[in-house]
Chain A
Amino acid sequence: DVKVTQSSRYLVKRTGEKVFLECVQDMDHENMFWYRQDPGLGLRLIYFSYDVKMKEKGDIPEGYSVSREKKERFSLILESASTNQTSMYLCASSGGPGTDVVLETQYFGPGTRLLVL
């Protein structure tokens, strides 16, 4: 089974702190994604990466950066956390060797609920 893990289930940080959210997948997936989920808004894509050291902005990249130094690990960084970044953050991966790009499924981690005070 595909396994996507996130470093924390719950985090409480103060405004202005630098926050690191880590995501690791164990299925040799090419693509990794970071989303945030807020009530009534659904999932919104922050950044995604389709290869090591490659990254693309999603719909709401402002205030975030990402790092993909190794294929299995995709980090989301909040340089200076703000209260409007309080949210559920979900990591996903997709696209193993030989996958049909059109029909690939994204596999999600359990999520990190971040509270910024």
Chain B
Amino acid sequence: KNEVEQSPQNLTAQEGEFITINCSYSVGISALHWLQQHPGGGIVSLFMLSSGKKKHGRLIATINIQEKHSSLHITASHPRDSAVYICAVRMDSNYQLIWGAGTKLIIKP
């Protein structure tokens, strides 16, 4: 079993829809990252969370430490949001990140 599980693996939605991507993990963590990867490979860090909720524009990330679960939400989705969204957790015992396999999001006009 992977230590970081993302769901869904693939998501296709219409422009304007509210999007939720989930990340569950099974290890003790000190921080959780959400990243975005566009076609062509470039990866951008979106959020880094250790508790609670963060908001940046139309993106919202939440984390529940007790339930070992985080969600990434996109409001008023747009085709330019189409990308792979990756969850990664930093274990509380070392420097390394454990990566989820990613969620491929396609927003249709």
Contact = CB atoms under 8 A, between A and B. Distances in A.
B96 to A, nearest CB: 6
A40 B45 contact: no
B101 interface: yes
Given A40-B101, A43-B86, A110-B41, A105 B96 contact: no
Interface string A61-102: 000000000000000000000000000101010000000011
Interface string B14-47: 0000000000000000110101000011111100
A104 B40 CA distance: 25
Contacts of A102: 30-31, 50, 90
Report whether over half of chain B's contact residues are helix, strand or loop; otherwise say mixed: strand
B48 A110 contact: no
B42 A105 contact: no
Interface of A: 31, 37, 40-45, 48, 50, 58, 88, 90, 92, 101-108, 110-111, 113
A30 to B, nearest CB: 10
Contacts of A105: 33, 45, 48
Nearest to B9: A40
Report whether over half of chain A's contact residues are helix, strand or loop; otherwise say mixed.
strand
A43 B99 contact: yes
Interface in B76-109: 86, 88, 90, 95-97, 99-102
A110 B97 CA distance: 19
B48 A103 contact: yes
B94 to A, nearest CB: 9
B102 A90 contact: no
Nearest to A102: B30
Contacts of A43: 86, 88, 99
A48 B96 contact: yes
B96 A58 contact: yes
A41 B43 CA distance: 16
A88 B102 CA distance: 15
Given A102-B30, A103-B50, A42 B102 contact: yes
A81 B12 CA distance: 37
